[in-house]
Structure 1
Amino acid sequence: MDTGRISARYAKALYEFAVENNKAEAIYESMKIVSNSFATVPELNKALVNPQVSKEKKKGLLIASAGSDVCPEFEKFLDLVLEHKREAYFQTISLVYQDVYRKAKNIVVGRLETAQEVSKADKDKLKAIVEEKTNANVEFVTNVNPELIGGFLLQVGTYQLDASVSSQLRIIKDSLLRNGSANS
């Protein structure tokens, strides 16, 4: 069996179990933290696939990677994964679970990049506009990038809106260069 198929089966089973126990959102939040932990700590996956690391230590690592407050259903799922020796798939399981949850809850992830920190009120206004246009709930991943100079860059799915000052300056520069070379 391949990684994708195994991960999808475990993630879907976890989602069904979580829904039955009213813990789908709590596990979703834990899985977001877990996937971020895998992205920022490459040693985590190495420890999980290491046969010399005990099940108990692997469970401890996964709980720690999920944040300080995990629900008992999450721990029960970890026990199942470790019992069946599927810990090497946990990173992919966490990502697939997030996808399953988002599809079920009609959530799209948007990336908002700004030149400086944006107020919660401004984020909420932008979120409301995007939600109205997409007919979906939006989760923003935000990033501050001073190279934008001002404005913002928004990506939701395949849609991208570049309202940054740096982009506008680049367009003006290109236009001036084109017009300058056309006049010579």
Structure 2
Amino acid sequence: MLRGAVARRYAQALYEIAQEKNALEAMEQELKGVAEAIEGTRELQKVLYHPQVLPGEKKNLLKALFTDKVSDETLNFLGLVVDKRRENYIAGIAAEFSVLANEARGKVAAEVTTAIEIDEKQKQELVKVASRMAGKEVEPTFGVDPSLIGGVVVRIGSKVIDGSIKTRLATIKSRLMSKTS
């Protein structure tokens, strides 16, 4: 709970700066890129998340990696995050920032998970259905989880719509087990 609150607070601060600078889209993409780079690079995580590496060294590393890739505001923000020893929250901050940006655009994030990779037409159809269900335009992320066996699971905020074969089979099993007991 605390982790989400901290990430939300930092995301809100950066969001306000982005609004002032009229750079919401750009800063969102920059922050996502930084978070993805960190989350995707084990060596970078080891350095950034290590408590004995000095904040100055971490900031120098971030500057070296991202100076030409992000705005000064984003780079300064990352420096502040490091100074406050919150570098392990960067991915959470990026996610919370996206939530705020989507709210400003009248959109909501949705995670769509299918058992197999689906084509663009199917993705578009799922987005339409999810948008109707949410009552807002949906900003989807798609994933594949073969353990679903078939069907789809859609997460919109705290709401989960589970149309997977895996869940249906589990429900049937549960009903059968309760009837035999």
Shorter chain as normaliser: what TM range?
Answer: 0.7 to 0.9
Q: TM-score, normalised by structure 2?
A: 0.73
Give the gaps of 5 or more residues in structure 1. none
User: What is the aligned partner in structure 2 of residue 56 from structure 1?
Assistant: 60
User: What is the aligned partner in structure 1 of residue 48 from structure 2?
Assistant: 45
Secondary structure of the residue aligned to 1:110 is strand
Q: What is the CA deviation profile of residues 26-83 of structure 1, one whole-angstrom value per residue up to 9, with x for unaligned ones?
A: 211222232334444432523697226264333123x28xxxx735xx2343136537
Aligned length: 172
CA contact (8 A) 1:113 1:153 kept: yes
Percent identity at matched positions?
A: 24
Q: Which moved more, 1:132-141 or 1:153-162?
A: 132-141
Name the larger-Rg structure. 1
Q: What is the CA deviation profile of residues 80-99 of structure 1, one whole-angstrom value per residue up to 9, with x for unaligned ones?
A: 65379637335154344333
Give the gaps of 5 or more residues in structure 2. none
User: What is the aligned partner in structure 1 of residue 72 from structure 2?
Assistant: 75
CA contact (8 A) 1:149 1:165 kept: yes
> Residues of 2 paired with 1:84 and 1:134: CA distance?
33
Tell me which amino acid in the other structure corresponds to 1:70. Answer: K
The 1:32–1:137 alpha-carbon spacing in structure 2 relative to 1, beyond 3 Å, is farther
Deviation, structure 1 residue 114: 0.9
Where does 1:3-42 land on structure 2 (aligned, <5 Å)? 8=9, 11-40=11-40, 41=42, 42=45
CA contact (8 A) 2:99 2:109 kept: no
Where does 1:1-184 land on structure 2 (aligned, <5 Å)? 8=9, 11-40=11-40, 41=42, 42-43=45-46, 45-46=48-49, 50-51=53-54, 53=57, 55-61=59-65, 63=66, 70-71=69-70, 74-79=71-76, 81-82=78-79, 86=83, 88-90=85-87, 91=90, 93-179=93-179, 181=180
